């Protein structure tokens, strides 16, 4: 799945884009509206974007797990002082490190917004609407082209994912 970010000028545009996304097969639970008011989401018949939808927790969890895995491996190697270490001990250090790193990353990620949302915080405060849409990676360009052809007022961005597991 890939997240698409639609920056829209008003609720009327959100209704039009959401209806077109539904006709393209996007379910309501894959669309979330980020707005100044939850009333806008009710008017557009789109679920409200909550903290988990806008936070950078998932991306930071992945980064933390990878960093923790590498640190766990290095910790086992450095603590062995040249002694023979078995494969099981080496893997245990990596797993423990990955778990600790993932937890730390998730905690840090919950405290910050995704990059795409941070770039448009002022626009949202001024009254624009941001529709967060998760689509299948194979159909993302089809969805973008259909929306752009019918809704010229929409600014569309894709997610800035750093790691793809």
Q: What is the pLDDT of residues 2-24, one digit of tens each?
A: 888 888 888 888 888 888 888 88
Q: What is the mean pLDDT of the chain?
A: 83
What is the Cα 81 distance to its own chain's centre? 41
C-alpha 152/C-alpha 165 separation (Å) is: 34
CB count in 10 Å sphere of residue 162: 11
Q: What is the pLDDT of residue 163?
A: 38
Contact 45, 15 (CB under 8 A): yes
C-alpha 141/C-alpha 52 separation (Å) is: 25
pTM of model > 0.75: no
C-alpha 36/C-alpha 57 separation (Å) is: 22
What element of type H or E holds 109? helix 87-110
């Amino acid at each position: 799945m890939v997240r698409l970010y639609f920056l829209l000028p008003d609720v009327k545009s959100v209704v039009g884009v959401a209806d077109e996304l539904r006709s393209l097969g996007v379910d309501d639970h894959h669309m979330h509206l980020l707005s100044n008011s939850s009333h806008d989401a009710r008017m557009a018949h789109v679920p409200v974007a909550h903290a988990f939808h806008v936070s950078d927790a998932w991306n930071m969890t992945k980064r933390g797990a990878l960093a923790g895995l590498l640190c766990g491996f290095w910790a086992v190697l450095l603590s062995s002082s040249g002694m023979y270490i078995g494969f099981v001990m080496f893997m245990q250090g990596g797993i423990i490190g990955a778990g600790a790193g993932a937890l730390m990353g998730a905690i840090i990620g919950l405290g910050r917004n995704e990059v795409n949302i941070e770039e448009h915080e002022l626009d949202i405060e001024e009254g624009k609407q941001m529709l967060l849409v998760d689509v299948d990676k194979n159909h993302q360009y089809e969805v973008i082209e259909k929306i752009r052809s019918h809704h010229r007022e929409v600014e569309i961005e894709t997610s800035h994912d750093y790691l793809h597991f």
